[in-house]
Amino acid sequence: MRPESNGDRVANTSRPLTCIDLFSGCGGFSLGLQWAGLECRAAIDFDSAAIETFQANHPHVPLALSRDLTQFRPEHLDKLLGDEKIDVIVGGPPCQGFSHARQVDGANHGDRLVHDPRRELYREFLRYVKYYQPRVFIMENVPGLRTAAGGEFFTRVQVESRELGYRIIPYEIEAWRFGVPQKRIRQLIIGARRELPLFIPAKYIRHTHDNLGKDGLNGLQPIVTLGEAIGDLPAIAAGDEQFERKYDKRARKTHVARYGSRYTNDVLKAESAATLTGHVARPHNDRDLRDFARLREGENSREAIARGECMEFPYDRENFKDRFTRQHRDELCSTIVAHLKKDGLMFIHPTQQRSLTPREAARIQSFPDTFVLPASRTPAFSQIGNAVPPLVGKAVGLGIAEYFNAAIESDRMAPNLSVKLPKGRSSAIKQLEKFVESLYLRPISTLASNEFLSAWWAVGFLHPNLHPDAALENGHELSLGPKRGVSFVLEPVFVRSGWPVELIPVAKEARRRFDSGEISEDEYYCSAAVMAGALTQKACAV
């Protein structure tokens, strides 16, 4: 069976791109990649319930394996997969060890760093990258990854990926910009083989929806609100556990008349689902139900107390003030998390006296109603809360496909440059040494565009392994290479980003000029210079 597609933009590569999904969960990421036209060859997760859900929803994926990735090595997978070429590896090594929640108890800080073996799982991911050498890999994690343990893990992931031959681009992705009705932000670490052109996240992973009105619409669609995502579902009471029920088709008609069909039918495929499943509400005690009723739409218990409401909940008033939150129909929902399996108190329905159901959580994550959910609430919330929203996966998949097409094109096209590139590494070093020394006498911001670009492209030529987007988040740790006495435009480097310390002002100025529109995207990312530098390095290495 060929995978079903979703939406208008589809990948246009000469053959379908293949991928492996590690730590796949129920397959939110895989579903989005499939919508973008990629073909998943294998998914691995040690949670057998998640793999069951994966299999039920991805019947065309030949291998969905319930295995522990600390034991199951790429060589084992290879025996099952045969010598299939893998273009992309994606995966979400568990994020609990990095998340902000652990920082509350100090577990991710300095001396109080608590050993958490889950943090090492990125190594298992990189083991597969090393073995399969995909052109691109995408690691998904919580934003806490950047700061956990003073940024140590963020550094390690980048250093170890670079050692495997990948140019690394950290990229924070905001789910609502892709039509997901949720405030979810996640950290992507994108690795692209260093012999390929630069992957430019902002160019390839294209926003489809606006940025909460901050930038204006700019030809994009308005964000999808919580009301648009779940407003057509039948009203149910807390404790109503009926797994399968009929849709209220009249309510859907009114809903679509109000919001249009872009989410209800185009994304959720509500029309294709015969019955509504997983719309089951957990029971709440009478005290909680009375407290729910005290909350206005969009309000949390802290705000209700400030307004003069007397909440009955017995929890410590200081630490748990905002324990209850009623979501708002006209806004984005709070980030859907696996914790929903424990309680739903931060996810109270906008108008009903109950917390959200697994089907509502799935809709808020952009899973279609045709997606088969586990019958039991706990694994359903856990799998849905852990997932990459399929619409985000789709945007990433389309971005990768577009990037591969652009990489093929750039091979065919002669670079069209307004200033000359250095002839070789030693002339690039000389040019940059002179340039950096001259900055003691004249402010870099006053330089004419041609002079600045000539230096900036020499940077790209000399350091084709680095990505400009990684130059501004370096940490403090410095490293010297094995040979002493090399040029100051080569080292010392910041361990995290790999960027030479002396070149950071040049990178900062390039970013400033790009952000202010003084130089174009092509001039900033200087792919032609980077590719020429990579070729020269390769020739030197032979």
Q: Do residues 509 and 445 make contact, with C-beta atoms less than 8 angstroms apart? A: yes
- When asked if residue 24 is in the footprint of ligand SAM (CB under 6 A), the reply is yes
Please identify which residue in 11, 19, 23, 145 interacts with ligand SAM, judged by CB under 6 A: 23
- When asked if residue 371 is in the footprint of ligand SAM (CB under 6 A), the reply is no
Radius of gyration, alpha carbons of the chain: 25
Judged by CB under 6 A, which stretch of 254-262, 342-350, 383-391, 434-442 contacts ligand SAM?
383-391
Q: Which spans in 58-120 are helix H?
A: 74-81, 100-104
CB atoms within 10 A of CB 424: 13
DSSP helix/strand/coil, 335? coil
CB atoms within 10 A of CB 40: 26
Please identify which residue in 3, 37, 74, 92 interacts with ligand SAM, judged by CB under 6 A: 92
- When asked if residue 33 is in the footprint of ligand SAM (CB under 6 A), the reply is no
What DSSP state is assigned to residue 73? -
Element (H, E) at 172: strand 166-174
Euclidean distance between CA atoms 533 and 464, whole angstroms: 6
- When asked if residue 379 is in the footprint of ligand SAM (CB under 6 A), the reply is no
Which of 139/432 has CB closer to ligand SAM? 139
Number of residues that bind ligand SAM (CB under 6 A): 21
Which of 23/461 has CB closer to ligand SAM? 23
Residues 69-88 as x/- pattern, contact with ligand SAM by CB under 6 A = xx------------------
Euclidean distance between CA atoms 453 and 420, whole angstroms: 10
Which of 361/528 has CB closer to ligand SAM? 361
Closest CA to 407 of 201, 206, 197: 197
Euclidean distance between CA atoms 196 and 171, whole angstroms: 18
Euclidean distance between CA atoms 518 and 340, whole angstroms: 47
Which of 356/362 has CB closer to ligand SAM? 362
What DSSP state is assigned to residue 17? -
- When asked if residue 122 is in the footprint of ligand SAM (CB under 6 A), the reply is no
Q: How far is the CB of 71 from ligand SAM (least distance, A)?
A: 8
In the window 147-186, what residues touch ligand SAM (CB under 6 A)? none
What DSSP state is assigned to residue 53? H
Q: Helices 527-541 and 390-412 meet at what angle, rounded to 10?
A: 70
Judged by CB under 6 A, which stretch of 17-25, 279-287, 406-414, 485-493 contacts ligand SAM?
17-25
Which of 19/198 has CB closer to ligand SAM? 19
Which of 350/390 has CB closer to ligand SAM? 390
Please identify which residue in 26, 169, 429, 470 interacts with ligand SAM, judged by CB under 6 A: 26
Integer CA distances (angstroms), 252 to 241, 249, 332, 361, 366, in order: 22, 5, 20, 18, 17
Judged by CB under 6 A, which stretch of 64-72, 280-288, 445-453, 491-499 contacts ligand SAM?
64-72
Q: How far is the CB of 95 from ligand SAM (least distance, A)?
A: 6
DSSP helix/strand/coil, 281? coil
For 169, phi then psi, to 5°, come to -130, 110
Q: How far is the CB of 397 from ligand SAM (least distance, A)?
A: 12
Q: How far is the CB of 359 from ligand SAM (least distance, A)?
A: 16
- When asked if residue 50 is in the footprint of ligand SAM (CB under 6 A), the reply is yes
Please identify which residue in 386, 431, 454, 536 interacts with ligand SAM, judged by CB under 6 A: 386
Euclidean distance between CA atoms 526 and 517, whole angstroms: 15
- When asked if residue 188 is in the footprint of ligand SAM (CB under 6 A), the reply is no
| First vs last C-alpha separation in the chain | 46
Euclidean distance between CA atoms 156 and 110, whole angstroms: 16
Please identify which residue in 17, 19, 35, 47 interacts with ligand SAM, judged by CB under 6 A: 47
Please identify which residue in 61, 77, 388, 531 interacts with ligand SAM, judged by CB under 6 A: 388
Euclidean distance between CA atoms 20 and 32, whole angstroms: 13
Pairing of the two strands 493-494 and 478-479: antiparallel
Which of 52/248 has CB closer to ligand SAM? 52
Which of 295/387 has CB closer to ligand SAM? 387
- When asked if residue 94 is in the footprint of ligand SAM (CB under 6 A), the reply is yes
Q: How far is the CB of 141 from ligand SAM (least distance, A)?
A: 8
Burial class (CB in 10 A: 0-12, 13-18, 19+), 257: exposed
Please identify which residue in 196, 268, 364, 387 interacts with ligand SAM, judged by CB under 6 A: 387
Q: How far is CA 50 from the centre of its chain?
A: 20
Judged by CB under 6 A, which stretch of 62-70, 130-138, 311-319, 520-528 contacts ligand SAM?
62-70
The residue nearest ligand SAM at its CB is 25
Please identify which residue in 12, 48, 59, 68 interacts with ligand SAM, judged by CB under 6 A: 68
- When asked if residue 46 is in the footprint of ligand SAM (CB under 6 A), the reply is yes
Q: How far is the CB of 31 from ligand SAM (least distance, A)?
A: 8
Euclidean distance between CA atoms 222 and 523, whole angstroms: 31
Please identify which residue in 3, 39, 45, 187 interacts with ligand SAM, judged by CB under 6 A: 45
Euclidean distance between CA atoms 188 and 315, whole angstroms: 36
- When asked if residue 397 is in the footprint of ligand SAM (CB under 6 A), the reply is no
For 276, phi then psi, to 5°, come to -90, 125
CA angle, residues 192, 198, 199, in degrees to nearest 5: 65
Which of 184/467 has CB closer to ligand SAM? 184
Residue numbers of the site for ligand SAM (CB under 6 A)? 23-29, 45-47, 50, 68-70, 92, 94-95, 121, 386-388
